[in-house]
Amino acid sequence: MSKYKVAVIIPVFNQWALTRDCLLSLREHTPDEDVQVIVVDNGSTDETAGACGALGRELFGERFEHVRLDENINFGPGCNLGASRADADFLFFLNNDTLLTPGWLSPLLGAFEKRPKLGAVGPLLLYPDRDRIQHLGVTFTPTNHVTHLYHYFPSTHPVVARERNLQAITGAALMIPDGVFRQAGMFWEEYRNGYEDLDLCWKIRSLGLTLRCEPESRVYHLTSQTPGRFNAESHNSQVLARRCQGAFYPDMHRFAHADGYELRLTSTLTANIVRVRSEVETREFGMERLWAEVLAEPLWEAGYERLLELFFKQRMWDAALDVLQLQQSYFSTEKVVTDLARVASRLGDAELLTNCRNTFEQLRQEGASKDIQKKIMAIQRWAVDSRDDVLLDVCRRWSTHHMGRRA
């Protein structure tokens, strides 16, 4: 029988201020009993080496262990090492660039009690400044691009509370039964600080278990604070492709459809989720009402366009910039970039104008690629083979809207 209910495993490399604040928030918002805390120090050269053990013992007593390594063995091996030192029923892998909130633990444990086939669960991760969503689950676009579902949504939006099974959740904050973690083979150690969580989630699903995000548990995430976080992107992509080929499939359109949205593909096959509203319903909305509606429903694309039309007519360039910056958080289209460039020119913002020109040139090159037609045909074939009528409809709408321009 395990000594503790949960072991919190935090791999760190330098960034002592982040680790300190994470530990303080963990102590403040975590029950004293049944929680073990293990910090795996990947060869830190800052104050972490001397300060972490003392603070951890002060906060957690004998429940704390500081595993000090002479070199950086990377995220996956560090987590595996921490798991080998744990004596708990559940393992909670946690980045050090996180802050726990009141009541974070019980919803995660409760999720396993409610769902016998649950393999792993993560909390809702939020940006700390505006309570907007950083992670509600991993989703895959029709081109199998990995992204976060409903990224930057307000945390109060109704879609947050809806239950959904996921193909993957982030390893930045992931709870898993100790037995399932070992049965799944733990984190595959060939990765270099990236994609280990996708691989683990694939192995968990291969066991016939499910994955979900539990929105009643909330954790603030500063995101990607480790220097060189994406240096091994090419290597990690190759390892994932070799190990997990065919393990993941497009599902972004399914989530959108289930939640009352449409998924639309741009000319370069970038996926955008859109809320379609009746023109009759919104015809009389004035400026203040439009702003309020866009803030409440950030995927209402036509709402942004109507606001911009009003601001452009009245030469309210600062207000237009605010709208466009928010719109750009949800929509990646040539029109957004073009409008940003127009506003940047009016405001004399040379840096923003240069960024717009670079982005537009990149989009232009992607749009000129001969692979676009091959990719849309591959998506359509997959949809036919999978009997996915929703994705077929996405492909048909793309062809209707964009094929005429390419002719």
Residue 360 within a domain = yes
My answer on whether 117 and 241 are in the same domain is: yes
My answer on whether 17 and 124 are in the same domain is: yes
My answer on whether 344 and 375 are in the same domain is: no
pLDDT given at position 293: 95
371-385 and 389-406 helices, crossing angle to 10°: 160
Mean pLDDT for the chain overall: 94
Residue 263 within a domain = yes
Q: Is the pLDDT of residue 43 over 60?
A: yes
My answer on whether 110 and 238 are in the same domain is: yes
Residue 122 within a domain = yes
Residue 31 identity: P
Q: Is the pLDDT of residue 365 over 80?
A: no
Residue 99 within a domain = yes
Query: Residue ranges of the alpha helices (H) in 132-282?
Result: 178-183, 196-206, 233-243, 252-258, 279-282
pLDDT given at position 362: 83
User: How far apart, in whole angstroms, are the C-alpha atoms of residue 66 and residue 52?
Assistant: 7
My answer on whether 154 and 218 are in the same domain is: yes
Residue 280 within a domain = no
CATH of the domain at 323: 1.25.40
Q: Is the pLDDT of residue 12 over 90?
A: yes
Q: Is the pLDDT of residue 223 over 80?
A: no
Residue 298 within a domain = yes
My answer on whether 109 and 183 are in the same domain is: yes
pLDDT given at position 407: 44
Residue 381 · residue 365 · CB < 8 Å:
no
Residue 279 within a domain = no
Q: Is 91 helix (H, G, I), strand (E, B) or coil?
A: strand
How many C-beta neighbours within 10 Å does residue 313 have? 8
User: How far apart, in whole angstroms, are the C-alpha atoms of residue 341 and residue 59?
Assistant: 51
Domain that holds residue 349: 285-367
Per-residue pLDDT reduced to its tens digit, 90-124: 999 999 999 999 999 999 999 999 999 999 999 99
My answer on whether 268 and 400 are in the same domain is: yes
pLDDT band of residue 144 (cuts 50, 70, 90) is: very high
Structurally, the chain folds into a number of domains equal to 3
Per-residue pLDDT reduced to its tens digit, 287-340: 999 999 999 999 999 999 999 999 999 999 999 999 999 999 999 888 999 999
CATH of the domain at 161: 3.90.550.10
My answer on whether 394 and 262 are in the same domain is: yes
My answer on whether 116 and 86 are in the same domain is: yes
My answer on whether 126 and 232 are in the same domain is: yes
Cα–Cα–Cα angle for 259, 211, 22, rounded to 5 degrees: 100
What mean pLDDT do residues 268-278 have? 94
pTM for this model (two decimals): 0.94
My answer on whether 261 and 128 are in the same domain is: no
pLDDT given at position 129: 84
My answer on whether 187 and 333 are in the same domain is: no
pLDDT band of residue 380 (cuts 50, 70, 90) is: very high
What mean pLDDT do residues 136-160 have? 96
